[in-house]
Amino acid sequence: MNSELLVSDARHFRIDYAINPYMDTAIQPDTEATLAEHQAIVAAHLAAGRKIEYLPSAPECPDMVFTANAALIRGDRAVLGSPPPERRAEIPYFRAWLSERRYEVVTAPYSFSGQGDALACGDLLLAAHGQRTDARMLDVLASELDYEVVALRTSGARWYDLDLAVGVISPGMLAYCPEALDEGSVRTLRGLGLDLIEVSVEEAARFALNLVSDGVTVTMTQGAPVLAAALRERGLETVELDTTELAKGGGGIRCTALALDNPPAAVRR
């Protein structure tokens, strides 16, 4: 998992609007610093042996560096994201890129935050609704991508995407912040029979869970030493990177990488 990722770049990253509680148009990222931050993330993926595909960002799309929201991909099928109006101009670029590479591209009929709200964990799809994703999308994802969908809800706008509240470490292991989910969702996660690592609200708010793991190496922010230590205790390698500039857009490492290698279901139901 996460051995093949689609990234964009931070050339046009700006805070033109505030569509999540972390964004403030008065606090702009430093372009050079953001470019360096993003390049370091890509370099870490490559060093971990991951294959990187690249789609250049467009000037009219200040959030395009956050490719995770563009779609959810499984096998050769992609369900496109349907983001808030401020980000809609991104979608045609991703649609074209995916179509050119012969993905079967499905248009989302309802609002959908893409992989931001839909984390693959083997044949399970941990999918959130209630913030950026319409509840009706969960059935669409189940039928279009043949996932067994686990419906979750975060506890509020601070966790506007599920990838801020839950991180998939391997198909058998999740990290999550209990305070970032509603009570029913915490019970649901605890009932899955997976190894669970609990993360504090302080580390989660610094985007600790917004990580990319291939099951061997976890690429994550450097603001979460407790989670990093817990991962190393479990035999994982951690690479901790500065994500200060990306955080001004309300995102981190997971948000900048769309997985292209989610394996298709072994037997179609």
In the complex, the smallest distance separating the C-beta of residue 98 from ligand ARG, rounded to whole angstroms, is 17
Determine if 154 is a binding residue for ligand ARG (CB under 6 A).
Answer: no
Q: Of 116 and 223, which CB lies nearer to ligand ARG in the complex structure?
A: 116
Site string for ligand ARG, 179-218 (x = CB under 6 A): ----------------------------------------
Q: Of 178 and 249, which CB lies nearer to ligand ARG in the complex structure?
A: 249
Amino acid letter for position 230 = A
Which residues make beta-bridge pairs with 170?
173
Determine if 176 is a binding residue for ligand ARG (CB under 6 A).
Answer: no
In the complex, the smallest distance separating the C-beta of residue 252 from ligand ARG, rounded to whole angstroms, is 8
Q: Tell me how far apart the alpha carbons of residues 158 and 5 are, in angstroms, rounded to a whole number.
A: 26
**Selected binder of ligand ARG within 72, 154, 250, 260 (CB under 6 A):** 250
In the complex, the smallest distance separating the C-beta of residue 191 from ligand ARG, rounded to whole angstroms, is 25
In the complex, the smallest distance separating the C-beta of residue 180 from ligand ARG, rounded to whole angstroms, is 12
In the complex, the smallest distance separating the C-beta of residue 269 from ligand ARG, rounded to whole angstroms, is 28
Stretch that binds ligand ARG, among 63-71, 178-186, 215-223, 230-238 (CB under 6 A): 63-71
Q: Note every long-range contact of 197-202, with CB atoms under 8 Å and residues 24 or more positions apart, other chains counting.
A: 197/169, 197/173, 197/227, 197/230, 197/231, 197/234, 199/167, 199/175, 199/224, 199/226, 199/227, 200/226, 201/177
Nearest partner of 1 among 255, 187, 212, judged by Cα: 212
Q: How many CB atoms lie within 10 A of CB 128?
A: 31
**Selected binder of ligand ARG within 2, 6, 9, 20 (CB under 6 A):** 20
Size of the site for ligand ARG (CB under 6 A): 16
Nearest partner of 259 among 97, 92, 115, judged by Cα: 115
Residue in this structure with the two tokens 């956050």, named with its chain if needed: 66
Which residues make beta-bridge pairs with 124?
121, 148
Determine if 223 is a binding residue for ligand ARG (CB under 6 A).
Answer: no
**Selected binder of ligand ARG within 108, 251, 257, 258 (CB under 6 A):** 251
Determine if 178 is a binding residue for ligand ARG (CB under 6 A).
Answer: no
Contact between 198 and 230 under an 8 Å Cβ cutoff? The reply is no
Give the strand pairing for 124-128 and 148-152.
Answer: parallel
Task: Residue count of the chain, please give it.
Answer: 269
Which residues make up the interface to ligand ARG (CB under 6 A)? 19-20, 23, 63, 66, 68-69, 87, 116, 161, 163-164, 249-251, 255
